[in-house]
Structure 1
């Protein structure tokens, strides 16, 4: 280990900064946020530092450096253009046993600034020991992306309860178990939603009765299949789930991003083969949540677009179980984007209509005449089984048999396949492409060959 990672309390402590340009400004901004008493030595100050000086946020003590300025300071930061001066200040500081940082000169540093994720009071620091600062920044961005914005608020509330928990539980293992449940359960969810009073009440209830476990149901849209289209919020939730109930349409690469020790239960339904009925799914969600578990219901696409998400939440509401929803990229939007078919375009279509291909026996899917306007894009989910009927009904109600169509299999995934044809060919095209599929019908399909960009299948 090249450096010892530590966090310094520099509130009201004197820190000497030599240099008044933009580089010094970046360091001074951090010092100011940490509450340091900043002394600066510089020939002149940049605009921002000059403004801070006028607001008494720093003390401009001199225009030239003198070694006696190091007396009674806590640490030293150097940001000048003179390598000779930088090295001289480093030697002066180290001879006085002060820690010093010369910006961008690791050989003249006794400490370095890490890349910082600030969720105060939670602070995360990443360092490459000065070898690759840009890499540290990239790592910081990746970690920061998956951390809840209210993480600091969670820590602050937990700090207020710390002594209460110590008093209630004598053993360290009991306290750790309490906080594990809190940080991975309803309390954390309520803070994330800004329900601070409810979150504090939940902690009180769990503290007064350790046997009470507050479960919840979280409905999560997994997107169309490509893990890169999973939302950050969905990823955060999946990594705190106790139980994961998922559909067949959720890809393995997305499932592998979930919490590793979570129970995984497949409750998928396929056409003409409903291995798990909707009533059974609703019942299982409620049953698991009542056991105090955080249940994530993971659904392909968006849970409120032909996903029966509303029905599942109705069951949760009727059972009095807390719930929340994390929307996802619906399959229509994802597949259209990954096939280069804009669903609306001012030269081709001024509106788009999403429908399901699961027709009722009387063909009353909707008003068929409303689907046959040439300036409208029609997107049909789950249309493979009823393809012949869909095609005949559209043509019978006035849609041109030569209307362009796209038949998309596993849109956005690496094995995505797209067949382009015309409406009267729909039944034939369906036979040459694997399910699940999405149908796009309308003049916007003409743009596929010009705008298609995502091609993994060598046969496309």
Structure 2
């Protein structure tokens, strides 16, 4: 991963957009759609972001230098080497946004991936997000502990769960789910013997477990590339020994025990 994906709020703020033509017009529409106000270089002191869509390479580079010198983060159309940030292809299920980016490598690829996702994610997905937001106080009351709350949501939002987001009627089920949701029972640890250092060799089930695990216990041979597939906030602990199971396991949540098979 060479970029850190972020969602930057620009509603009610100025954003510099320089240039004329279709590319510049597209950037202005994007800014306005997100609630920002487009402005020129003369008002750059009020802005934090800038888009440069100037055809002439020399003029574009000079504008980028000036804006960066004033402390702005700059995107230069079709000039990835000059960009502080890139603009992903956005799937909008307001307030849910799915952004697909390639770090400037191929806008066409990002667009077509987004179009595929458009066909998969149901239009009412935003309604589910709004229903969960409206129920946040009840959710906190039902599950006071943050870890318990996250695990309950994970179970409900999983494939086939009570609030499966790919089922268009999930938003209507939030209230009844909160009424019926039960406390999580302890989950037995799952042991995975890795045959390869390549994360692409993980099965779909193993990749899903890594994305859901609360605790990841691993031996010294498990490579960082595999551990990077775990949730960013999952607890990671090395095993005391590579051969023996851990003496003490977390009482709640999903625990994975990862071991790398010795090369034959």
Matched, 1:5 2:5: yes
Distance in 2, matches of 1:38 and 1:118, equals 21
SS in 2 for 1:192: coil
Identify the residue that residue 117 of structure 2 maps to in structure 1. Answer: 143
Name the residue aligned to 2:137: 163
Which residue matches 1:99? 73
- Identify which of structures 1 and 2 has the higher relative contact order when contacts are C-alpha pairs closer than 8 Å and 6+ apart: 2
**RMSD over aligned Cα atoms:** 2.7
Matched, 1:35 2:25: no
Query: Alpha-carbon deviations, 1:134-187, whole Å to 9, x = none?
Result: 122222223333222222111111111122212221223321232134324344
Q: Secondary structure at the match of 1:16?
A: strand
The aligned runs of 1:42-57 (5 Å cut-off) are none
CA distance in 1, matches of 2:14, 2:128: 31
| Partner Cα distance (2:16, 2:165) in 1 | 43
Q: Report the Cα distance in structure 2 between the residues aligned to 1:95 and 1:77, rounded to whole angstroms.
A: 15
Structure 2 residue runs without a partner (length 5+): 185-203, 207-264
- Measured against aligned partners, the alpha-carbon deviations of 1:366-418 in whole angstroms (never above 9, x if no partner) come to xxxxxxxxxxxxxxxxxxxxxxxxxxxxxxxxxxxxxxxxxxxxxxxxxxxxx
Who is 1:179 aligned against?
153
Q: Given that residues 153 and 191 in structure 1 are in contact (C-alpha distance below 8 angstroms), is that contact kept between their aligned partners in structure 2?
A: no
Return the TM-score normalized by structure 1: 0.37
In structure 1, how many angstroms separate the alpha carbons of the residues matched to 2:49 and 2:128? 32
Q: CA deviation at 1:8?
A: 0.3
1: distance between equivalents of 2:47 and 2:165? 44
Determine the structure 2 residue equivalent to 1:199: 173
* SS class of match (2:47): coil
Judging changes above 3 Å, is the alpha-carbon distance between structure 1 residues 110 and 260 closer, same or farther for their aligned structure 2 residues? closer
Write the distance in 1 (CA, Å) between the matches of 2:119 and 2:79.
30
- Could you say if the C-alpha distance between residues 189 and 17 of structure 1 is closer, same or farther in structure 2, counting changes exceeding 3 Å? closer
**Cα deviations across residues 281-326 of structure 1 (Å, max 9, x unaligned)?**
xxxxxxxxxxxxxxxxxxxxxxxxxxxxxxxxxxxxxxxxxxxxxx
With structure 2 as the length reference, what TM-score do the two structures score? 0.62
Give distance in 2, aligned partners of 1:189 and 1:13. Answer: 32
Shift of 1:106: 1.1
Q: Do 1:190 and 1:199's aligned partners in 2 also have CA atoms closer than 8 Å? A: no
- Alpha-carbon deviations, 1:94-115, whole Å to 9, x = none? 1112101111111221111112
| 2:113 is the counterpart of 1:134 | no
- Displacement after TM superposition at 1:189 (Å): 7.5
Mapped partners of 1:173, 1:84: distance in 2: 53
- Conserved in 2, the CA contact under 8 Å of 1:191 and 1:199? no
- In the alignment, the residues of structure 2 paired with residue 178 and residue 5 of structure 1 have an alpha-carbon distance, to the nearest angstrom, of 26
Contact 1:187 1:202 in 2 (8 A): no
2: distance between equivalents of 1:156 and 1:68?
39
- Mark the CA change 1:260 to 1:78 in structure 2 (over 3 Å): closer, same or farther: same
Residues 166, 201 of structure 1: alpha-carbon distance in 2 compared, 3 angstrom cutoff: closer
Between structure 1 and structure 2, the one with the greater Rg is: 1
